Amino acid sequence: MSTAAPRPVELRRPAPTRRRPFARLPVTVTLLAPFVAMFVVFYVVPIVWSFRTSLFANRLIGGQTFQGLDAYSRALHDPDFLHGFSNVGILCLIQVPISLGIALALALILDRGVRGGGVYRLLIFVPYAVPTVIGGLMWGFMYDPKIGPVGQITEALGLGTANLLSQQWMLFSIGNILTWGGTGIAMVILYTALKAIPRDLEQAAAVDGANRWTVMRTIKIPLLLPSIGLVLLLAVIATLQLFNEPSVLASLAPQVIGQDYTPNLYAYNVAFHGSQVDYAAALAFVLAGIVLIVSYGGIAIARWRVRK
């Protein structure tokens, strides 16, 4: 018997089917239809309608008149609107990196393997599950110098009664609430991405003599960069649109949180207290435009750096 090398198994290619390009169209359409219908009705139509609203000024005297893009040029020159951006901008530049840094550190620690890691992951995630309004109210009461523990603790430590709802501290206080609520979800995303890194990479590095920190620096974090980028993008988008926390704290500290504390809050007040729905629509579009520019800008920069 000849001991020839075994013949490679021929993978039988399936016989090419006749080209029927729309054969599966009915099935596709039926499965997609519910989503597309809801998407169009609740997403696309309101956006188009809002744009249409922003083109027509609605006045108490004179009714509805076409104003074209006037509302947009007004929005771009509105100092109250731009003031809101300075607040969310500070949060984006300071709070977001801190929150992500904490999330990354926690994800790396938990990935190393901690006894009872599941419990910790759950506890870190729970604040994200608390509705933002309730979280905001809760923290608001804790911050209040008269009835909250923070003031009492600083008093006991001899630092005077800290008022975390005052002008100097408000951004920090809001940032604290955002970190408390948002770190959990970021950590879960990063942890999941870490778990997807093949173990043999680590082992190979260990064989090559790398210690834990080197592994983290050269393997884990570089492979995590897409996930970090994703989480960063989501956090920036959410922070630029900040509304819930300032809105809830406004009742406790109305002298600090004015109607223009964040761009979204300003648009809301213009619409519902100023009855200028057309201007509010324009503000919303400008805000969306800025968010788009920032997020696409971020993605473009990331792609450019990866390509380098």
Partner 1 sequence: MSKLGIRRAVAALGVALLAVLVVAGCGGGGGSSSGGAATTFNPNEAANLTVWSWAPQTAPAAKAYMKLHPNVNIKVVNAGIETAEYTKIRASLEAGRGGPDVALMSFPNVEEFAVTGSLLDLSKFGADEMKADIAPWCIELLSSEDGQLYGLPTDAGVMGFIYRPELLAEAGVKPPKTWAEFETAAAKLHAAEPSSYLANFPLGQFPWLQAMMWQAGSKPFHVEGSKIAIHLDDAPALKVAEYWDGLLEKHLVKAEAAFTTPYYAAIDRGEYAGWVAPQWGPVLIKESSPTYGKWRAARLPQWSTSEQSEPLWSSSSYVAFDDSSAPAAAADFVKFITHDKTNVEHLSEETPYAFYPLKSLYESKAWLDQKLPFYGPQKANAVFAEAAKHVDGSFASSPFEDYVVTQGNQLVGEAVDGNGSLVDAMKELQERVVKYAEEQGFTVES
Nearer to partner 1 among residue 249 and residue 287 (C-beta): 249
- Nearest distance, CB of residue 24 and partner 1, angstroms: 9
238 binds partner 1 (CB under 8 A): no
Secondary structure of residue 151 in the 3-state scheme: helix
Question: What is the residue type of 173?
Answer: S
Q: What are the two backbone dihedrals, phi and then psi, of residue 56, each rounded to the nearest 5 degrees?
A: -120, 120
Q: What six digits make up the tokens of 125?
A: 């995630």
Query: How crowded is residue 203: how many other Cβ atoms within 10 Å of its Cβ?
Result: 11
Restricting to residues 257-276, which ones interact with partner 1 according to CB under 8 A?
258-260, 269, 272-276
> Among residues 222 and 274, whose Cβ is nearest to partner 1?
274
The piece of 8-16, 120-128, 189-197, 246-254 that touches partner 1 (CB under 8 A) is 246-254
Q: Is residue 203 close enough to count as binding partner 1 by CB under 8 A?
A: no
Residue 4, CA distances (Å) to 1, 8, 9 in order: 9, 11, 14
252 binds partner 1 (CB under 8 A): yes
Is 77 an interacting residue with respect to partner 1 (CB under 8 A)? no
Contacts of 266 (CB under 8 A, 6+ apart): 80, 81, 84, 259, 260, 283
Stretch touching partner 1 by CB under 8 A, among 123-131, 200-208, 210-218, 252-260: 252-260
- State the burial class of residue 92 (Cβ atoms within 10 Å of its Cβ: 0-12, 13-18, 19+): buried
Please name the residues in contact with 95: beta carbons below 8 A apart, sequence gap of 6 or more. Answer: 175, 178, 179, 239
Which residue type sits at 154?
Answer: T
Q: Enumerate residues 111-140 that contact partner 1 by CB under 8 A.
A: none
Query: Taking each helix axis from N to C terminus, what angle separates 277-307 and 79-90, rounded to the nearest 10 degrees?
Result: 40
Report if residue 300 touches partner 1, rule: CB under 8 A: no
Kindly state the smallest distance separating residue 171's Cβ from partner 1, in Å.
15
Which string of x and - marks every residue 153-192 that binds partner 1 (by CB under 8 A)? --------------x-------------------------
By CB under 8 A, name the one of 129, 147, 292, 306 that touches partner 1: 147
Residues that bind partner 1 (CB under 8 A): 21-22, 25, 28, 40, 44-45, 48-49, 52, 58-62, 64, 141, 144, 146-147, 167, 250-256, 258-260, 269, 272-276
